[in-house]
Chains A and B, each alone.
Chain A
Amino acid sequence: MARFLVVVPPLTGHVNPTLAVGAALRDRGHEVAWAGPPGLLPSLLAPGATFLPTNDLAIADPIEAVRERSLGLRGPAALKFLWSDVLLPLARGMVDGTDRAVEEFAPDVLLVDQQALAGAVVARRRGLPWLTSATTSAELTDPLAALPQVDGWLRGELQTLQVEAGIDPAEAASGDLRFSEHGILAFTTEALYGTDQPRPANVHFVGPSIGARPPDDAFPWAWLSDDLPHVLVSLGTLNAEAGDRFFAAALEAFADEKLQAVVVAPPELAPDPPPNVLVRARVPQLVLLPRMDAVVSHAGHNTVCESLANGLPLVVAPIRDDQPIIAEQVVRAGAGVRVRFGRARAADLGAAVSEVLTDDRYREAAAVIQRSFLAAGGPATAADVLEDLACRP
């Protein structure tokens, strides 16, 4: 049997899809371990999962604090921050520990998150086969193609990172740390991604890898009335902090409407909700979604895929990073409507929600994507691709 090491950043959305893949591999008799910064990570893994820390605890936690500094950033400023302040420092801090993890666990194959570059560096340096784990598909569309200066800068940074780690400069200049030449697992399908969109040659569209339902968080299920449509509003945990204006617009839009809304937000950011709106800091999203009729989201890939996996149409309000591209995928697929996040207005948000609830075409398009997800296989297909790579002579 084979041994697989999953290298991940301390980011929930990047870790979650790998859990069901790891479970599938273990069910087939393989050994699986996860490597990444300690702190948040061990609590995300299944009980008993093997975890190999790549950093001291003291270095790991400031990642969240650093990300909080990025709250007000949009567009190119957010891009610069993401690479210069988060991903490249993270890679540098993780390389030695990832190498130790490989030494200790002796994997046959590495599964490397597209934002855990240290895994790619170590795989290349040791000549180990590895796959990219693309938990969001925006990078696959080559979004910097129209900005060659920016693209060149980023490639230069990735080459420097490798050369610093002892990889031969000629090898560093070939291939891409973000896209393994051995293959890319994209946790989406072409129905959402867009059949006409450019993509790297060796992408496997395995579909979302959505975990087993977690234990029921305390949620007032009785509050949900069967007579009204239900809308979930979620901007993702980090963005909720900057969403006060958006939440205010939502509360205003939903007051006096014939619907019930569950808004995921710190209560102080969404004060005085009308009676048909429930504000909760946390919700059991996977258990709640089957009770919903539409989702308002910042277009984070996991929430989008979880919503579409339930056949739900979306209103997307992208903020930064990959979100504008994912939002565009949803709109192009006909499964949702886009609204502006900045200077959000109640009238626009209300109209968009009303449209996706009443015009059946959005739900029908969501159902098409839902069926494509089921057909793609998710964790089982991902495990097949990983097994193939492990068995190649």
Chain B
Amino acid sequence: MPGPPSTEQAAAPAAAPPTSDEVLAQVRSLLVDVIGDDFLLDTEIELDTSFNEDLELESIEFVALSERLLERYGSQVDFVAWMAEMDLDEIIALTVGELVDFIVTSLS
């Protein structure tokens, strides 16, 4: 479950909004950062990969992910507010693809 975001300054956004593929690659690298690269192979993280069932992302790792998203994308991507609107079934089913879509939409 996500906690309060850190208060680091956001990086300046790129000139053109990133594509879906670019964001997927970025999210993969953040997840490898959070979970540890020996636990994952790049090929394991696709759009349909689920945080809960496939990655078994622990609550402390969710918090770490939300902090890294803030660092990477700045306050345009409000991951905590997005999660706060979800009900339990949506959280259980949450996939990497939905996160990618959310980031792309937030930045465009």
The distance from the CB of B3 to the nearest CB of chain A, in whole angstroms, is: 6
Segment of B23-31, B54-62, B69-77, B96-104 engaged in the interface with chain A: B54-62
The distance from the CB of A260 to the nearest CB of chain B, in whole angstroms, is: 28
Is residue B18 contacting chain A, with contact meaning CB distance below 8 A?
no
With contact pairs A148-B84, A150-B88 given, residues A75 and B3 touching in the complex (Cβ less than 8 Å): no
The distance from the CB of A194 to the nearest CB of chain B, in whole angstroms, is: 14
Contact B56 A153 (CB under 8 A): no
Which residues between 306 and 347 of chain A lie within 8 Å of chain B, taking CB atoms? Answer: 318, 324-325, 328, 338, 340, 342-343, 345
**How many A-B pairs fall under 8 Å by CB?**
65
Task: Output the nearest chain B residue to A327 by Cβ-Cβ distance.
Answer: B60
| Bound complex: CA A77 to CA B86 (Å) | 14
Is residue B8 contacting chain A, with contact meaning CB distance below 8 A?
no
Contact of B59 among A75, A150, A342, A343 (CB under 8 A): A75
Is residue A147 contacting chain B, with contact meaning CB distance below 8 A?
yes
Contact A80 B92 (CB under 8 A): yes
| Bound complex: CA A170 to CA B106 (Å) | 41
| Bound complex: CA A338 to CA B59 (Å) | 13
| Bound complex: CA A143 to CA B83 (Å) | 14
With contact pairs A342-B56, A343-B56 given, residues A150 and B2 touching in the complex (Cβ less than 8 Å): no
Residues of chain A with a CB closer than 8 A to B83's CB: 146-147
Contact A79 B88 (CB under 8 A): yes
Contact A149 B84 (CB under 8 A): yes
Task: Output the nearest chain B residue to A347 by Cβ-Cβ distance.
Answer: B38
Q: How many residues of A contact B (CB 8 A)?
A: 23
| Bound complex: CA A74 to CA B58 (Å) | 8
| Bound complex: CA A149 to CA B4 (Å) | 16
Which residues between 109 and 158 of chain A lie within 8 Å of chain B, taking CB atoms? Answer: 143-144, 146-150, 153
| Bound complex: CA A230 to CA B63 (Å) | 34
Contact A147 B86 (CB under 8 A): yes
Which residues between 1 and 59 of chain B lie within 8 Å of chain A, taking CB atoms? Answer: 1-4, 36, 38-39, 51-53, 56-59
Contact A149 B52 (CB under 8 A): no
The distance from the CB of A140 to the nearest CB of chain B, in whole angstroms, is: 16
With contact pairs A147-B86, A318-B58 given, residues A74 and B52 touching in the complex (Cβ less than 8 Å): yes
Task: Output the nearest chain B residue to A146 by Cβ-Cβ distance.
Answer: B2
Residues of chain A with a CB closer than 8 A to B89's CB: 80
Task: Output the nearest chain B residue to A75 by Cβ-Cβ distance.
Answer: B52
Contact of A340 among B2, B58, B85, B91 (CB under 8 A): B58
| Bound complex: CA A100 to CA B74 (Å) | 58
With contact pairs A76-B92, A77-B52 given, residues A153 and B87 touching in the complex (Cβ less than 8 Å): yes
| Bound complex: CA A77 to CA B85 (Å) | 17
| Bound complex: CA A150 to CA B57 (Å) | 18
| Bound complex: CA A146 to CA B63 (Å) | 11
| Bound complex: CA A318 to CA B60 (Å) | 10
| Bound complex: CA A285 to CA B17 (Å) | 58
Task: Output the nearest chain A residue to B4 by Cβ-Cβ distance.
Answer: A146
Residues of chain A with a CB closer than 8 A to B107's CB: none
| Bound complex: CA A144 to CA B4 (Å) | 12
Interface centre among B57, B59, B86 (most CB of A within 10 A): B59
Residues of chain B with a CB closer than 8 A to A153's CB: 87-88
Interface centre among B1, B3, B80, B85 (most CB of A within 10 A): B1
Which residues between 140 and 197 of chain A lie within 8 Å of chain B, taking CB atoms? Answer: 143-144, 146-150, 153
Task: Output the nearest chain A residue to B59 by Cβ-Cβ distance.
Answer: A324
Interface centre among A143, A146, A345 (most CB of B within 10 A): A146
| Bound complex: CA A146 to CA B79 (Å) | 11
Known: A149-B86, A153-B87, A340-B58; 5 extra A-B contacts, CB below 8 A, are A146-B83, A147-B86, A147-B91, A148-B84, A153-B88
- What 10 A-B pairs are tightest by C-beta distance, nearest first? A342-B56, A76-B91, A149-B87, A324-B59, A77-B92, A76-B92, A80-B88, A75-B52, A150-B88, A343-B39
